[in-house]
Amino acid sequence: MLRGMATADIRTSSEPRTNGHAPAVMPEARRNAGIPLDLAWVREARFTNRSAAERRAATLPARRSVKKAWQAAWLLRAVTCLDLTTLQGDDTPGNVSRLCAKARQPVRRDILERLGAEQLPITVGAVCVYHNLIEPAVEALAGSGIPVAAVSTGFPAGQTPLETKLSEIRASLLAGASEIDIVISRAHVLTGNFRALFDEVRAFREVCGDAHMKTIIATGELGTLRNVRAASLVCMMAGADFIKTSTGKEPTNATLPGSLIMLRAARDYFERTGYVVGFKPAGGIRTAKQSLDWLALMKEELGDSWLRPSLFRIGASGLLTDIERQLWHTATGRYSAAHHHPMP
């Protein structure tokens, strides 16, 4: 079914309209080194139009048309961009090892064979765990090329002293993590203290060194889309490699309007500085259909160049089961029960 169709090409059966602003061709990506804090640019966030953002986001699920083989190609792309995550209080080395086995072979081989995709290198983008489970994850993923991401800096609330947060990052790097998901101090945004936010995120970036840093701004706790844009800009100025919507632990996590604002901030940052910053929605993305909405949003706002694991991740745990079920339906015309696609 997918033979001859590169999953790098995720055109839809009816190509979605773009807003005319997505970069057509992105030059070779340079890691974001950050720039000095530009408060005048941050203050421009007050012009963010919430109603326009909500109307734009509402059009995506309503007009998207991705069917059959094209849908399967999009869903396989979504799998490669997954940060397969377990952040539960009852996590053990055993269930993390099983999760890592799933990360190596996220889609059952018989499904890939039915789709004609058995030769494609389908693995997830990363495995994300708490600090104490980094070493079992690194051991289970040895030789796979799949990075281990660790949540840090007082995750999920971020209500710990700065030195403690910096020590957490150092410890996670020593344990073998190659990506660090940090949380910002939301109070800095809510009180308008953007200098403090910049200094905090800059300190995190300096300690991260070569490790990729994903900066969680917790959109559901920032109050307004204006704050979402301002926080996104400040974090990018401070050197974030990714901006991420949520911890997955807030009452409101990833939303399409909030994601739209963050993506447009990333696009503006690229156009003004030449630095490319990735994006990660996380929390509440549980169905294959939802993953397609975020892929379409990325494609339309930032273009195909951003649709790769180095610049786009989806933070999720249960999503993979539904994607496998949908791929099975594409291949056979029948839905299978969830227990045929178990997660650890």
> Annotated active-site positions, please?
181, 244, 280
Are 234 and 198 in contact by the 8 Å Cβ rule? The answer is yes
| Phi, psi angles (nearest 5°) of residue 149 | -105, 140
Q: What is the DSSP string of 69-99?
A: HHHHHHHHHHHHTEEEE---TT--HHHHHHH
Q: How many other β-carbons are positioned within 10 Å of the β-carbon of residue 160?
A: 15
Residues 94/99/100/104 CA torsion (nearest 10 deg)? 140
Q: Identify the helix (H) or strand (E) that includes residue 314.
A: strand 314-316
Residue whose entry in the numeric block shows the structure tokens 């012009």: 47
Nearest alpha carbon to residue 247 among 87, 78, 82: 87
Q: Which amino acid is at 44?
A: E
* 279 beta partners: 243, 312
The residues, any chain, with a CB within 8 Å of residue 291's CB and separated by 6 or more, are 75, 78, 285, 314, 316, 319, 323
User: How many CA atoms are closer than 13 Å to the CA of 37, on its beta-carbon side?
Assistant: 17
The helix/strand/coil state of 114 is: helix
